[in-house]
Amino acid sequence: MRNGCLHPGGQRMTERLLQLAPLPSGARILEIGCGSGQTVLYLQNLGYDATGIDKEAAWDNPHIQNGDMLYLTFPQGSFDAVIAECSLSASGDASTALENAYQVLKPGGQLFASDVFFPETDGKQAELWVQMIQQAGFDVIQMEDASAEAQSFFLQMIWEQGCLPEHWKRIAAGRKKVGYFLICGRKSHDG
């Protein structure tokens, strides 16, 4: 993919995701499922204290660690925000990943997530994702449908690579339509 981004819209969608709710200058952010770490570097360039984890982390970067979002080892209340770009659907257990994100957030901390959804199983407006995020304890602050980005992303991927990579084939297997959402949730101040 162009610029190595493995999520629809690339950095432009990361920018839009961060516009859903303000973050304080220097906020401590954890990216779960950070892949190559491009978003972590982008966040650092914006002045945030960003750390990323990925199960396949093999980079010589102290801000990117080998780790699994299903087994976070950070102390409770460690971060001001958690960001997950197309990683929850690939986690194998999005509910557990969301619960873990909730635990590592400070009271009032924010979840920024973008991911694919399938209208035939997840609802026309990704209602099942919204329910899962709320069940993890988050108040949904804002949500946007960015489905056109997913369709463009998949077409570009097929054009550049000749087909979808295996990871995306597994996620989309048997599905007829794909959507893409951006969402910001907030951990209650009591949490």
Query: Around Cβ 98, how many Cβ atoms within 10 Å?
Result: 27
Taking the C-alpha atoms of residue 6 and residue 35, their distance in angstroms, rounded to an integer, is 8
Query: In this predicted structure, what is the pLDDT of residue 2?
Result: 34
Q: Answer for the pair 33, 20: CB distance below 8 angstroms, yes or no.
A: no
DSSP H or E stretch at residue 131: helix 127-135
Q: Please indicate, yes or no, if residue 104 is contained in any of the structural domains.
A: yes
Beta bridge pairs of residue 49: 28
Q: Give 16-30 pLDDT, tens digit per residue.
A: 999 999 999 999 999
Taking the C-alpha atoms of residue 95 and residue 44, their distance in angstroms, rounded to an integer, is 28
Q: Please indicate, yes or no, if residue 12 is contained in any of the structural domains.
A: yes
Q: Please indicate, yes or no, if residue 52 is contained in any of the structural domains.
A: yes
Q: Which of 52, 79, 48 is nearest to 187 (CA)?
A: 79
Q: Please indicate, yes or no, if residue 191 is contained in any of the structural domains.
A: no
> What is the number of structural domains in the chain?
1
pLDDT in tens, the chain (191 residues): 333 446 666 788 899 999 999 999 999 999 999 988 899 999 999 999 999 999 887 666 788 999 999 999 999 999 999 999 989 988 999 999 999 999 999 999 999 999 988 877 778 888 999 999 999 999 999 999 887 776 666 556 554 666 555 655 556 655 567 788 999 999 987 76
- What CATH number is associated with residue 152? 3.40.50.150
Domain around 169: 2-186
For the chain, the straight-line distance linking the first and the last C-alpha, in angstroms and rounded, comes to 39
Within 8 A by CB and 6+ apart from 83, the residues are 14, 17, 29, 30, 31, 32, 39, 43, 111, 112, 113
Q: Please indicate, yes or no, if residue 45 is contained in any of the structural domains.
A: yes
- In DSSP notation, 160-184 reads HHSS--HHHHHHHTT-S--EEEEEE
Q: Give 48-69 pLDDT, tens digit per residue.
A: 999 999 988 766 678 899 999 9
